[in-house]
């Protein structure tokens, strides 16, 4: 059976999230670089890079060794086109699953931005993503994870929404799964002359402590957390949870 994350990030995805654009990415990266001093001349991986908006922003900030990894061929093709159009042909793109980053001990920094975590059916599978990032980092490398905050989602969930995006009529339904662990989203897109398309998203919501525990088990150290990429203090009502953590040598998974 096809998992939701194999089919959702396709043809309509970028049109459904028009505000996740270059301008926002430039601001995200400026904020990230104020939060943590990532070395510009060393290898950086954008894990789940999507259409490459953060890679382009990083390149403009002077990063010279950039790789983006994503599972969606469609978004990777969009990323290639965006980067080539900006004369950023040197940025490498890789199609792979985030649980199996092919490189070991390669990246000084790995970033995972805008809720690319919590996608798998079990916590063990999600944890594999963190293990994979750990292995792909060089000693003392930095991992940045930007994801949603369970408490905020539970307190602010909008169950139903309708909007027009260009010629698309979009109806969104959200609910919390019966076990209370996941936020489920169904997006129904109607376009003149096309059959109705339905996209599903199912993201496991973690408490801060659960992610800290996973990072600690794997061997990450010096974990700092924030309520936004801008470095706001984390509270239960923060919309985001941002972890900045480091690898240490000779830890259990290495
Ligand atoms: C919410 S989007 C974020 C994209 C990008 N970080 C951004 O901010 O524009 C999540 C991304 O994860 C990718 N993705 C989903 N499942 C994946 C997997 N198993 N392995 C690698 N990438 C995956 C999707 O294709 C999509 O590009």
- For ligand 1, say whether the CB of 76 is within 6 Å of any of its atoms: no
Q: Which fold has domain 4-149+207-246?
A: Rossmann fold (3.40.50)
Q: Report the separation in Å between the CA atom of 70 and the middle of ligand 1, taken as the mean of its atom positions.
A: 6
Q: What is the mean pLDDT of residues 59-87?
A: 97
pLDDT digits (tens, 9 = 90+) for 95-141: 999 999 999 999 999 999 999 999 999 999 999 999 999 999 999 89
Specify the pTM. Answer: 0.96
Atom 10 (ligand 1) nearest CA? 116
pLDDT at position 248 is 79
| Domain extents in the chain | 4-149+207-246, 153-203
- Which DSSP string corresponds to the chain? ---HHHHSSSTTHHHH-TTSSHHHHHHHHHHHHHHS---TTS-EEEET-TTSHHHHHHHHTT--SEEEEES-HHHHHHHHHHHHHTT-TTSEEEE--TT--S-SS-EEEEEE-SS--S-SSSHHHHHHHHHHHHHHEEEEEEEEEEEE-HHHHHHH---EEEEEETTEEEEEEEEE-TTS-EEEEEEEEE-TTS--EEEEEEEEPPPHHHHHHHHHHHT-EEEEEESSTT-PPP-TT-SEEEEEEE--TT-TT-
> What is the atom index within ligand 1 of the atom nearest the CA of 114?
8
Residue 230: which pLDDT band, with cuts at 50, 70 and 90?
Answer: very high
Residue 164, burial from CB neighbour count under 10 angstroms (0-12, 13-18, 19+): exposed
Q: Report the separation in Å between the CA atom of 36 and the middle of ligand 1, taken as the mean of its atom positions.
A: 22
**153-203: CATH, from 1.20.1530.20, 2.20.130.10, 3.40.1170.60, 1.10.3720.10:** 2.20.130.10
pLDDT at position 253 is 55
pLDDT digits (tens, 9 = 90+) for 162-218: 999 989 999 999 999 999 999 999 999 999 988 999 999 999 999 999 999 999 999
pLDDT digits (tens, 9 = 90+) for 14-69: 888 888 899 999 999 999 999 999 999 999 999 999 999 999 999 999 999 999 99
Residue 98 and residue 71 in contact, taking contact as beta carbons nearer than 8 Å: yes
- For ligand 1, say whether the CB of 75 is within 6 Å of any of its atoms: yes
- Give the tokens for residue 247: 């690898």
pLDDT at position 13 is 87
The number of beta carbons lying within 10 Å of the beta carbon of residue 27 is: 13
Q: Report the separation in Å between the CA atom of 116 and the middle of ligand 1, taken as the mean of its atom positions.
A: 5
């Amino acid at each position: 059976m096809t998992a939701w994350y194999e089919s959702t990030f396709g043809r309509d995805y970028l049109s459904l999230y028009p505000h996740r654009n270059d301008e926002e990415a430039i601001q995200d990266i400026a904020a990230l670089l104020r939060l943590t001093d990532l070395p510009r001349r060393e290898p950086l991986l954008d894990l789940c890079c999507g259409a490459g908006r953060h890679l382009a922003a990083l390149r403009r900030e002077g990063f010279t060794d950039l790789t983006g990894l994503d599972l969606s061929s469609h978004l990777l093709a969009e990323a290639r086109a965006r980067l080539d159009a900006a004369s950023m042909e040197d940025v490498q793109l890789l199609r792979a699953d985030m649980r199996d980053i092919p490189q070991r001990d390669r990246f000084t920094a790995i970033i995972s931005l805008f809720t690319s975590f919590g996608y798998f059916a079990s916590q063990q599978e999600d944890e594999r993503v963190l293990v994979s990032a750990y292995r792909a980092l060089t000693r003392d490398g930095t991992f940045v994870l930007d994801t949603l905050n369970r408490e905020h989602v539970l307190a602010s969930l909008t169950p139903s929404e309708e909007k027009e995006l260009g010629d698309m009529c979009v109806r969104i339904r959200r609910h919390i799964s019966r076990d209370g662990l996941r936020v489920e989203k169904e997006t129904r897109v109607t376009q003149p002359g096309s059959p109705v398309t339905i996209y599903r998203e199912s993201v496991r919501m973690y408490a801060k402590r659960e992610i800290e525990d996973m990072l600690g088990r794997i061997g990450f150290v010096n974990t700092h957390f924030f309520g936004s990429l801008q470095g706001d203090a984390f509270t239960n009502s923060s919309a985001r949870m941002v972890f900045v953590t480091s690898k240490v040598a000779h830890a259990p998974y290495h």
